[in-house]
Amino acid sequence: MEKYRITGGIPLSGAVDISGAKNAVVAILPAVLLSDEPCRIENIPHISDVTTTLKILEKLGAKVAYVDPHTVEIDPRTVTSNEVDHELACKMRASYYFIGALLGKTGSARVPMPGGCWFGERPIDLHIKGFHALGAESIPQEDNVIEMHANQLMGNSVYLDTVSVGATVNIMLAAARARGMTIIENAAKEPHIVDLANFLIRMGADVRGAGTDVIKIRGVQQLSGAVYSIIPDQIEAGTYMAMAAATGGDVLVRNVIPKHLESITTKLDEMGARIEEMDDAVRVRCEGRLRGCNIKTMPHPGFPTDMQPQIAVLLSIAEGEGTITEGVWDNRFRYTEELIRMGAKIEVNGKRAVFQGVDHLTATNVKAMDLRAGAAMVIAGLVAQGVTEIEDIRYIERGYEDIIEKLRRLGAQVERVTDEA
């Protein structure tokens, strides 16, 4: 079993370069299927969700060639299948974007229910509502597979009862080549939604309003190839900012879009960290102890739910009381059990957690319960007294490129070990 072993108590210092955004690239790679020509995608992160997505594309028949570790050329013209590989689909959440992409290009899709992180119910009713609104029909399946067909997708208005990143992405993909105008109301506004829209536009799609809560897509007959570079990962950047603040370090987080980090910067500043913004970097310093504060996670531009476990570690060691109210997911506090085992004082009641800051955490063996909970365990290991070992690191490596190397370059004492047991 692979583990991380982290010796805590070392303030991080130096510079870290942020990779391409996981939640943008897992939407943009399936979108390549909509093109009638090859596409080149640059600044892709080297993470397992990307590897899985590229394997799905290859199994569908697309030609996939790495130009370098962060650049891939994909030719969708050789796609022969509309059925996504079951084993691969179950490895990640975003495999369901192939429904929108295959429907949008071929009019039919057969995709297993996705895998991914568990933090409560993760329905896909809004995705299905959108596909039905565009004229697609669901073919009932027994084995947890979604099969949809449409002779001709027709643009329509879709109101999302809940702001949903995934449903917004999937409807954009299905609408790009539908006949007529599709209007998504109450759309998600995350940076990765805008990145997908910009990629579709680069291919010749007619998409307006991405980044607002109303996105209009007028379907087009054909889409050309494109060269496109993925935006920097907002959550990876926020995670390293949190690491710098938690360890009392001084870190330059490079290759970021500061505007995407505003809610994170605001909260770290409120807790006592010093943040200096530059054009494409932020410097995070922290002398003295962080202060507790109240945080509510919300859809963008609110504080991102995907930063919730990470900021919880800072509240665990901050001075005074702090709270987190989870505004997106039903059950995203399971990781607090691991922090409590390290000495944190946390009370969870439904979607609210109350933290009484302690002056230190104590190292022990912990598990990564999901991707961002795993990142939180890394932060906890970086600040805890002693040596922390983290199991189930596969979750972490779904979304953080070269995390051990990046941390080592910041002075952390971390290693990836194989435990024979």
- Give contact residues for ligand EPZ (rule: CB under 6 A): 22-23, 26, 93-94, 117, 121-127, 162, 164-167, 188, 305-306, 328-329, 371-372, 399
Taking the least distance from each CB to ligand EPZ, the nearer of 75 and 326 is: 326
CA distances from 328 to 297, 298, 333, 351 (A): 7, 6, 12, 9
Q: Whose Cβ is closer to ligand EPZ: residue 135's or residue 299's?
A: 299
Do strands 137-139 and 145-149 pair parallel, antiparallel, or not at all (unpaired)?
antiparallel
Minimum CB separation of residue 125 from ligand EPZ in Å reads: 5
Which two structure tokens, joined as six digits, stand for 376?
């939180």
Would you call 349 helix, strand, or coil by DSSP?
Answer: strand
Sign of CA dihedral 195, 197, 199, 201: negative
User: 176 or 373: whose CB is closer to ligand EPZ?
Assistant: 373
- Using the minimum distance from each CB to ligand EPZ, give the nearer residue, 38 or 116: 116
Is 39 noted as a catalytic residue in this protein?
no
Closest by Cα among 12, 7, 8, 14 to 243: 12
Q: ∠301-206-209 over CA atoms, to 5°? A: 25
> With respect to ligand EPZ, which residue has the nearer C-beta, 95 or 249?
95
**Catalytic entry in 39, 90, 117, 293:** 117
* Least gap, CB of 56 to ligand EPZ (angstroms): 14
Closest CA to 11 of 239, 277, 268, 251: 251
Least distance in angstroms from the C-beta of 263 to ligand EPZ: 12
Which tokens hold the place of 277?
């913004």
How far is it, in rounded angstroms, from Cα 23 to Cα 46?
13
DSSP code of residue 154: B
Q: How far is the CB of 421 from ligand EPZ (least distance, A)?
A: 29
Based on CB atoms, which residue is closest to ligand EPZ, 265 or 305?
305
DSSP H helical ranges for 43-124: 48-60, 86-89, 97-106
Place of tokens 């070992």: 389
- Alpha-carbon distance of 420 to 59, in angstroms, equals 34
Min separation Cβ 121 and ligand EPZ, Å: 6
- Token couple for 69: 């570790």
Q: Is 271 buried (19+), middle (13-18) or exposed (0-12) by CB count in 10 A?
A: buried
Nearer to ligand EPZ, 241 or 286 (CB): 241
Residue closest to ligand EPZ, measured at CB:
166
- The contacts found for 55-61 with CB under 8 angstroms, 24 or more apart, are 55/85, 55/88, 56/30, 56/84, 56/85, 56/88, 56/89, 56/95, 56/98, 57/29, 57/30, 57/32, 57/33, 59/84, 59/85, 59/88, 60/33, 60/84, 60/98, 60/102
Tell the smallest beta-carbon distance from residue 267 to ligand EPZ (Å): 16
Catalytic residues: 117
